[in-house]
Amino acid sequence: MIRGILRAFIVTVVSIVLVAGAFGGGYVASRAVFPPAPPPDGGAPASWKPYFPAFWEAWNYVKQDFYKTPVDQNEMVYGAISGMVDALGDPHTLFTEAKVAAITSTELQGSFEGIGATVEMNQGRLTIVSPVKGSPAEQAGLLPNDVILQVDNTVIQNMDVNQAVALIRGPKGTTVTLTIQRANVAPFKVSIVRDTIRTPFVESRMIPNTTIAYLRLNDFGATAPDEMRAALTSLMAQHPTGLIFDLRRDPGGYLNVAVDVASEFLKSGQTVLIEKDKFGHVQEFKASGGGLATDIPMVLLVDGGSASASEIVSGALKDYKRATLIGTKTYGKGSVQNVNTLSDNSELRVTIAHFFSPLGHEINDVGVSPDITVTITDADVAKNNDPQFDAAVQFLQKK
């Protein structure tokens, strides 16, 4: 598990929310139910009309003169939208094609259809970080560090990680053939029947030979609050003297889930985050009360892969001195996105606000610093050591 820590961090930064877009925390409700009414005249407000002639002139020149045929007009539209969004200079405002957008949606619901393997794009090579336990990928014998060279007949070297994952995903019961490269072994093919993969958001256990409970949250997905509450109920029934809450490599999820998660550790009415929009409007989100772990001595583990919703919780627990943060500085995504589902099921995520810690500390591009800095070195990874976890155990044993 620890060998994957540094690799998983790269996955998080490059592919962001499990291979599907920007760091996910801070998503608010989609406008799919109540989309804004389109403006008159084909969607172009009168004030914009001076800007569109050049666009249509360029469009028509491409259609008329480009030497390759046929021209894929859908790809041209997608490229135009992507270029428009890129021009804003905000890495978290982005356009996602429908197939890739579906991956994000299913991930945050706790299940998806595919082979069940965590992957990263490492120097242009799609590399398996780890197969999900009991998944078709594990049953087929795939191992960490295996490189996927080809999906069916498509070579995926240097491909965008989202596009590569979209090729591997597919309906339950269908077969995908992967060409695998393993160290010192000639490339070989593996055919895998896809299945429904359920990915629990929460892991929990009592640490052997201690009275310390361990709780990990992998994503702030839709079912995370219920899973968290069930895990905490079981852990607290065992009367632990301390709690380690692990948010390392957690890329985020839904804003309301972040508030629910923080509410398990904070007193009713305490501020979880402060949100500020472009007009200067301020909204405070408060803990709902009824938390199961509001008093137990607590360590929060964070690192550079802890982003967005993870930083909402980290900032709140630090400001209220509710937990001692151990690890390294978090990623630094302190923005909220509105998820807009377009007519073809593609998605446009638009940054609508920034969020701040309860004491008003900036998080975007800054991150949340730990109270105790503990790094994981290459030597630790090679030996499968986790000095951050060890430091948390030692800290709580001294309480």
Residues 251 and 378 in one domain: yes
Sequential pLDDT tens for the chain (399 residues) = 333 433 333 333 222 222 233 345 566 543 333 445 444 444 567 777 788 888 889 989 998 899 988 888 888 999 999 999 999 999 889 898 887 777 766 666 667 788 988 777 778 899 887 677 788 998 999 987 899 999 999 999 888 777 888 899 888 999 999 999 998 889 999 999 999 887 778 999 999 999 999 999 988 988 999 999 999 999 999 999 999 999 998 888 889 999 999 999 999 999 999 999 999 999 999 999 999 999 999 999 999 889 899 999 999 999 999 999 999 999 899 999 988 999 999 999 999 999 999 999 999 999 999 999 999 988 887 788 999 999 999 999 997
Q: Is position 64 within any domain?
A: no
Domain tally, the chain = 2
Alpha carbon distance 15, 32 (integer Å) = 25
pLDDT at site 87: 95
Q: What is the CATH number of the domain that holds 135?
A: 2.30.42.10
Angle in degrees, CA 272, 278, 279, rounded to 5: 100
Q: Is position 167 within any domain?
A: yes
Separation of first and last alpha carbons in the chain: 28
Alpha carbon distance 9, 210 (integer Å) = 29
Residues 126 and 160 in one domain: yes
Q: Compute the Cα dihedral for 151, 153, 155, 156 and give only its sign.
A: negative
Domain that holds residue 190: 112-198
Residues 176 and 243 in one domain: no
Residues 178 and 259 in one domain: no
pLDDT at site 44: 63
| Residues labelled catalytic | 308, 319, 333
Angle in degrees, CA 145, 146, 151, rounded to 5: 140
Q: Is position 340 within any domain?
A: no
Residues 166 and 216 in one domain: no
Q: Compute the Cα dihedral for 316, 339, 162, 124 and give only its sign.
A: negative
Pairing type for strands 335-341 and 27-28 reads: parallel
pLDDT at site 11: 32
Q: Looking at 198, 229, 246, which one is the last position of a domain?
A: 198
Residues 146 and 217 in one domain: no
Q: Is position 99 within any domain?
A: no
Q: Looking at 198, 230, 250, which one is the last position of a domain?
A: 198
Residues 173 and 261 in one domain: no
Task: Map residue 80 onto helix, strand or coil.
Answer: helix
Q: Is position 94 within any domain?
A: no
Alpha carbon distance 355, 134 (integer Å) = 39
Q: Looking at 145, 177, 198, which one is the last position of a domain?
A: 198
pLDDT at site 49: 77
Residues 248 and 379 in one domain: yes
Q: Within 13 Å of residue 15, how many CA atoms lie on the same side as its CB?
A: 31
pLDDT at site 28: 56
Pairing type for strands 298-302 and 111-114 reads: unpaired
How is residue 150 written in tokens? 């080809």
Q: Which residues contact 38 (CB under 8 A, 6 or more apart)?
A: none
Q: Is position 212 within any domain?
A: yes
Residues 192 and 238 in one domain: no
Residues 273 and 378 in one domain: yes
Q: What is the CATH number of the domain that holds 313?
A: 3.90.226.10
Task: Map residue 302 onto helix, strand or coil.
Answer: strand
How is residue 208 written in tokens? 């052997």
